A = this chain, B = another copy of it.
Amino acid sequence: MALRADARENRERILTAAREAYALHGIDVPMATIARRAGVGVATLYRRFPTRTALVTEAFAEQLAHCVAALDDGLADPDPWRGFCSVVEQVCLMQASERGFTQAFLTQFPDHAGYAEERARAEEGLARLVRRAQEAGRLRRDFTVDDLTLVILANCGAAGVGPDASRRLVAYLLQSFRAPATAPLPPSVRLELDRIVAP
């Protein structure tokens, strides 16, 4: 049944607060902190989102949709290599700018039954993205779909530093993925070891 107007607004406030809190303190931030930031009681939070993962899932639903859209865009690109690169870049940028998204992504993607079908679709799309770029002779033949996950994980570490570090890492990786040749990199990034959040 539909939520009452005030409840619906509170729900949105909670989701926003959760994203902010995750960005600031990582995904293990106490539920009470999120509730306080949203200006609601903990009970309200727990009523809407019974488990921590439920909240995380909903909080990043939009970001996840953005990733799926990026994949579709990449597949639609007439240039298979450009499509491939843009998918990798966009997803990694998302990881780096929306702190906590990656943890959410990795934590729940395995099980969460509701998304099994969406996940299968995504995997199929990724496989096509890779095959297409390889058939065009732009992506090295020994690249596998699993390497995409490897990129996600690698980027996870770099994302903790900031989008610049992530961009540079991705640029390095894409160059090694390309069949031959190299190209200039984004500027070097000063790494502040102190400010890394435990990914």
Chain copies in complex: 2
- Docked Cα-Cα span, A194 to B155, in Å, equals 18
Quote the shortest CB–CB distance from A132 to chain B (angstroms).
18
| A130-169 interface (Cβ within 8 A of B) | 140, 142, 144, 146-147, 149-150, 152-158, 160-161, 165, 168-169
Interface size on A, residues (CB 8 A): 42
- Docked Cα-Cα span, A194 to B149, in Å, equals 13
The contact of A188 among B146, B152, B153, B160, by CB within 8 Å, is B146
**Structural contact, B154 and A155, CB atoms closer than 8 A:** yes
Which residues of chain A have a CB within 8 Å of any CB of chain B? 103, 106, 109-111, 140, 142, 144, 146-147, 149-150, 152-158, 160-161, 165, 168-169, 172-173, 175-177, 180, 182, 184-185, 188-191, 193-194, 196, 198-199
